[in-house]
Amino acid sequence: MAYILRILCGALIFTTVHAQDETAIPPADEWYKSEYAPLYGDKPWENADELAGHFTETVQIHNELIESLDSLQWISGALEEWKIAGWVRSEIAEMDFEMFNPTTASFKTRWRDYYNGGNIAYECTWYLADFVDGSWKISAVAGINCNEHGL
């Protein structure tokens, strides 16, 4: 009987500690939609520091090659290139979200991009985010084909 009681107490303690840990982690999809994505809404090139703060210090970029780049340098360069191309802002058109475990999430996003002259384009991107040091941080990014990924 004491053995069963110890098992039940151990399970209760494990469940309580585990539940407390998980409740301390904010939902990744809400973070993405309410904190990260809105930074692309109005003059995003002015938000390079804040955008980079949503990434790990070094981010893996998955294109033809996989590169690890300084997040602030990478995001600043990308914002400047997009601005030169006439890009004005972006918003989420569609998003697919998956939790791999309590501290790792994947996002596939179809972005609606607005350009000077009223032009609108769509592009899709995959992100991997980890809960690190008390906040969600994007650690990897890849451009993806919208149709192939159901977006």
Q: What is the CB neighbour count within 10 angstroms for residue 104?
A: 15
How far apart CA 88 and CA 37 sit, in angstroms, is 14
Q: What is the rounded CA–CA span in Å between residue 137 and residue 127?
A: 10
Report the CATH number that the domain containing residue 83 is assigned in CATH: 3.10.450.50
- Asked if residue 18 belongs to a domain, the reply is no
pLDDT at 23: 58
Walk along the chain (151 residues) in steps of 10 and give the mean pLDDT of each run. Answer: 37 38 81 96 92 95 91 95 95 96 96 95 97 95 95 93
What pTM, to 2 d.p., does this model score?
0.81
Give the residue numbers spanning the domain of 42: 26-149
Report if residue 11 sits inside a domain. no
Within a domain: residue 2? no
pLDDT (0 to 100) of residue 65: 87
Instruction: Kindly state whether residue 20 falls inside one of the protein's structural domains.
Output: no
4 is a domain residue: no
Residue 110 lies in a domain: yes
Give domain status of residue 8, yes or no: no
Burial class (CB in 10 A: 0-12, 13-18, 19+), 33: middle
Domain count for the chain, please give it.
Answer: 1
